[in-house]
């Protein structure tokens, strides 16, 4: 990805290190907005290696981050007024926490990158500051053994870095805790919405085809008359699972996400039912209940992957029960739809 953020070079030890600003520019802002919608996601990287900010010297701190540009930008925009170095690891363009979970923001890469940039010749101390969430992939005691550098885990959020430094490189409880508030959940939705589009189009296609069914075969009039509301229902079920459930997450009863999605889906169904939009016979009505809740529950269950507090063991347990139910509901729903049309 083209470098729009270097503002110079810092000569050091016979070579030079790119100097970056601690103020984001409009390209950075635009890029951040677009990448949240999945635009240019695969290209939103910076080159791994060492960068300088402010006027760093041999006593300045080293901050480590991933080579996902959003991570890099989030770090540097919180370092204004500080002088130091940024060590960017090659995480294949993935953010710190996910990369740590996969091992790419890991002990091996960190040790190797420290050696590659000859960090021991750049600073005269052995302190290296990592985002706390990197701990999922980095073993601090092994980094010390293999590189001589002491990993200090900084706060979870870059916005707490200056306070962390002022408090003598210590994180208090708040700085160490990950939450999942409204804004955090909201930011994740556009990406999930876009990436789910194939599920959405697939479901819409199936429903659209069924909508044209009558006892005498396919009817164009039925496609155009009934197809519209049918596709709208599928779209609303999609919104229920991908947008509404995440937004309202803490307020929907039930701990499993699949259950929360089922509840939101049921509410969407009841609203459509009360607006008299759910078909003329009992088969169609029941089928829509099954289809809408299946879609909403499945997509809500997928949101566990974007959440910050679900455990692998919990998701496995949730899925063992929910996935067969969702599949069962969907298939029964489709069968009842067909029966309803042919009636």
Partner 1 sequence: MKDLLYLPDVVTLKLCEETCNGCGMCVKVCPHEVFELAGKKAHIIRRDYCMECGACALNCPVQAITVNSGVGCAAGIINGILNNTEPSCGCSGSNSNCC
Cβ-based neighbour number of residue 47 at 10 Å: 11
User: Considering only 14-22, 201-209, 228-236, 249-257, which stretch makes contact with partner 1 by CB under 8 A?
Assistant: 249-257
- Choose, by CB under 8 A, the member of 2, 215, 221, 255 that binds partner 1: 255
**Residue among 171 and 233 whose Cβ is closer to partner 1:** 171
**Residue among 73 and 226 whose Cβ is closer to partner 1:** 73
> Please, are residues 145 and 184 in contact by the beta-carbon 8 Å criterion?
no
**Residue among 122 and 133 whose Cβ is closer to partner 1:** 133
User: Considering only 19-27, 179-187, 226-234, 268-276, which stretch makes contact with partner 1 by CB under 8 A?
Assistant: 179-187
- Choose, by CB under 8 A, the member of 115, 118, 317, 328 that binds partner 1: 317
**Residue among 96 and 213 whose Cβ is closer to partner 1:** 96
Q: What is the 3-class SS of the chain, one letter each residue?
A: CCCCCEEEEEEECCEEEEEECCCCCHHHHHHHHHHHCCCCHHHCECCCEEEEECCCCCCCEEEEEECEHHHHHHHHCCCCCCCEEEEEECCCCCCHHHHHHHCCCCHHHHHHHHHHCCHHHCCCCCEEEECHHHHHCCCHHHHHHHHCCEEEECCCCHHHHHHHHHCCCCCCHHHHCCCCCHHHHHHHHHHHHHHCHHHHHHHHHHHHHHHCEECCEECHHHHHHHHHHHHHHHHHHHHHHHHHHHHHHHHCCCCCHHHHHHHHHHHHHHHHHHCCCCCCCHHHHHHHHHHHHHHHHHHHHHHHHHCCCCCHHHHHHHHHHHHHHHHHHHHHHHHHHHHHHCC
Please report whether residue 197 would count as binding partner 1 according to CB under 8 A: no
> Please, are residues 9 and 19 in contact by the beta-carbon 8 Å criterion?
yes
Shortest distance (Å) from residue 311 CB to partner 1: 4
Please report whether residue 311 would count as binding partner 1 according to CB under 8 A: yes
Please report whether residue 250 would count as binding partner 1 according to CB under 8 A: yes
- Choose, by CB under 8 A, the member of 1, 24, 82, 319 that binds partner 1: 319
Please report whether residue 177 would count as binding partner 1 according to CB under 8 A: yes
Please tell me the distance from the alpha carbon of residue 239 to that of residue 189, in angstroms, as a whole number. 10
Shortest distance (Å) from residue 99 CB to partner 1: 7
Shortest distance (Å) from residue 292 CB to partner 1: 19
Please tell me the distance from the alpha carbon of residue 318 to that of residue 309, in angstroms, as a whole number. 14
Shortest distance (Å) from residue 109 CB to partner 1: 14
Strands 150-153 and 127-130 come out as parallel
Please report whether residue 251 would count as binding partner 1 according to CB under 8 A: no
Restricted to residues 112-141, the positions that interact with partner 1 (CB under 8 A) are 132-133, 135-141
Please report whether residue 28 would count as binding partner 1 according to CB under 8 A: no
Please tell me the distance from the alpha carbon of residue 18 to that of residue 22, in angstroms, as a whole number. 13
Please report whether residue 252 would count as binding partner 1 according to CB under 8 A: no
Structure tokens at 98: 């996910």
Shortest distance (Å) from residue 71 CB to partner 1: 11
Restricted to residues 30-49, the positions that interact with partner 1 (CB under 8 A) are 41-42
Restricted to residues 68-97, the positions that interact with partner 1 (CB under 8 A) are 92-95
- Choose, by CB under 8 A, the member of 48, 49, 57, 314 that binds partner 1: 314
Restricted to residues 205-244, the positions that interact with partner 1 (CB under 8 A) are none
Shortest distance (Å) from residue 27 CB to partner 1: 21
Which residues sit at the interface with partner 1, rule CB under 8 A? 41-42, 92-95, 98-102, 132-133, 135-141, 153, 156, 171, 173, 176-181, 195, 249-250, 255-256, 301-302, 304-306, 308-319, 323
């Amino acid at each position: 990805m083209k470098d729009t953020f270097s503002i110079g070079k810092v000569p050091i030890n016979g070579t030079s290190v790119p100097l970056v600003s601690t103020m984001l520019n409009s390209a950075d802002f635009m890029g951040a907005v677009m990448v949240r919608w999945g635009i240019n996601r695969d290209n939103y990287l910076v080159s791994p290696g060492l960068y300088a900010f402010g006027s760093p010297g041999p006593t300045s701190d080293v901050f480590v981050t991933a080579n996902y540009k959003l991570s890099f930008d989030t770090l540097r925009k919180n370092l204004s007024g500080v002088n130091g170095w940024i060590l960017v690891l090659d995480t294949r363009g993935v953010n710190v926490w996910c990369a740590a979970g996969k091992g790419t923001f890991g002990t091996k890469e960190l040790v190797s990158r420290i050696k590659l940039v000859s960090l021991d010749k750049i600073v005269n101390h052995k302190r290296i500051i990592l985002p706390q969430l990197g701990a999922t992939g980095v073993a601090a005691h092994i980094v010390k053994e293999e590189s001589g550098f002491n990993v200090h885990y900084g706060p979870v959020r870059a916005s707490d870095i200056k306070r962390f430094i002022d408090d003598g490189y210590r994180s208090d409880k708040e700085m160490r805790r990950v939450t999942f508030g409204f804004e955090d959940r909201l930011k994740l939705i556009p990406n999930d919405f876009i990436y789910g589009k194939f599920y959405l189009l697939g479901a819409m296609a199936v429903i659209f085809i069924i909508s044209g069914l009558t006892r005498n075969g396919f009817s164009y009039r039925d496609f155009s008359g009934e197809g519209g509301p049918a596709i709208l229902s599928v779209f609303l079920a999609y919104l229920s699972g991908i947008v509404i459930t995440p937004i309202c997450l803490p307020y929907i009863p039930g701990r499993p996400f699949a259950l929360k999605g089922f509840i939101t889906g049921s509410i969407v169904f009841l609203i459509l039912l009360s607006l008299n939009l759910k078909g003329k016979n009992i088969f169609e009505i029941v089928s829509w209940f099954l289809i809408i809740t299946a879609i909403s529950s499945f997509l809500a269950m997928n949101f566990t992957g974007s959440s910050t507090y679900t455990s692998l063991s919990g998701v496995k347990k949730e899925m063992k029960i929910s996935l067969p139910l969702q599949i069962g509901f969907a298939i029964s729903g489709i069968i009842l739809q067909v029966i309803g049309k042919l009636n």
